[in-house]
């Protein structure tokens, strides 16, 4: 359906201004960034297609310029708008603008509080420099370590790109259990080995549950 065929008060841009961005779906928000359709798709169809390609909003954060440009109907202007919005969201989320003033321990405590309220399992990486100052973070996946895919190459690439020398991993157990699973232990050992190979120090992996945490050994 083309946006112009919708009643004015149902169009994404108008709904955002009248009801706030939280009232819009991911497809509608992306459609506002794209502005127009392309490749024989309306802007709503194009936005929906892009999200389907990448499995939703959360996974879209990993998209590259070339991947976006390979989608029929997405040109340089559309790709640039989407990538700029993603980068802004990452900087806001990670507190990157003030990263030199904070430590990774502070960010860890914030995540322990935040993940304690989640009903799904999330995996988060925190990056620090050689002085243990916070330099960035990523929410790598959700759904649990047994069901969620952790892209280790992406994790290492992000750490090196940020200029990090140390990495901390954490994930939550919504059921309240603080004990590490066999999979948690295997992942911890594997990450420690792989990070040593690329010159990174793995400071540890902790399990979070209901505001408490325990390091995986």
- Give the range of the structural domain holding residue 43, as residue numbers without chain letter: 3-94
Q: Mutual orientation of helices 43-54 and 26-34 as an angle, nearest 10°?
A: 120
Residues 113 and 33 in one domain: no
Place of tokens 């509080």: 113
Calpha distance 48→26 (Å, rounded): 9
| pLDDT for res 6 | 77
CATH number at residue 53: 1.10.150
Same domain, 187 and 82: no
End of a domain among 65, 94, 123? 94
Residue 129 and residue 58 share a domain: no
Instruction: Give dist(CA 28, CA 202) in Å, integer.
Output: 40
Residues 136, 79 share a domain: no
Residues of the chain with pLDDT under 70: 1-2, 93-101, 143-149
Per the structure, the count of domains in the chain is 2
Q: What are phi and psi of 53, to 5 degrees?
A: -60, -35
State the pLDDT at residue 147.
Answer: 43
| 3-class DSSP state of 134 | strand
What string of DSSP letters covers 33-72? Answer: HH-S-BTTB-HHHHHHHHHHHHTSHHHHTT--HHHHHTST
Q: Can you give the pLDDT at residue 60? A: 85
Whole-model pTM: value is 0.54
Instruction: Please tell me the predicted confidence (pLDDT) of residue 143.
Output: 65
Boundary of a domain, candidates 70, 94, 118 = 94
Same-domain check for residues 75 and 11: yes
Same domain? 182 vs 126: yes
CA nearest neighbour of 140 among 127, 1, 174: 127
Q: What share of the chain is helix, strand, coil (3-state, %, to 5)?
A: 50, 20, 30
**Phi, psi dihedral angles at 100 (to 5 degrees):** -70, -15
């Amino acid at each position: 359906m083309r946006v112009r065929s919708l009643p004015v008060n149902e169009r994404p841009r108008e709904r955002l201004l009248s009801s706030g961005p939280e009232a819009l779906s991911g497809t509608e928000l992306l459609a506002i960034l794209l502005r127009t359709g392309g490749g024989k798709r309306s802007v709503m169809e194009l936005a929906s297609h892009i999200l389907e390609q990448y499995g939703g909003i959360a996974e879209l954060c990993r998209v590259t310029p070339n991947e976006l440009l390979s989608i029929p109907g997405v040109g340089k202007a559309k790709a640039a708008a989407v990538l700029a919005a993603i980068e802004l969201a990452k900087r806001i989320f990670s507190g990157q603008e003030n990263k030199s003033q904070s430590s990774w321990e502070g960010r860890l405590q914030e995540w322990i509080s935040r993940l304690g309220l989640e009903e799904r399992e999330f995996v988060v990486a925190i990056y620090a420099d050689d002085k243990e100052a916070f330099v960035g973070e990523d929410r790598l996946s959700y759904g649990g370590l047994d069901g969620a895919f952790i892209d280790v190459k992406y994790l290492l690439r992000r750490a090196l790109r940020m200029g990090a020398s140390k990495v901390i991993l954490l994930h939550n157990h919504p059921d309240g259990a603080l004990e590490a699973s066999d999979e948690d232990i295997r992942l911890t050992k594997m990450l420690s080995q792989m990070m040593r190979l690329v010159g990174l120090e793995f400071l540890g992996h902790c399990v979070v549950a209901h505001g408490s945490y325990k390091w995986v050994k």
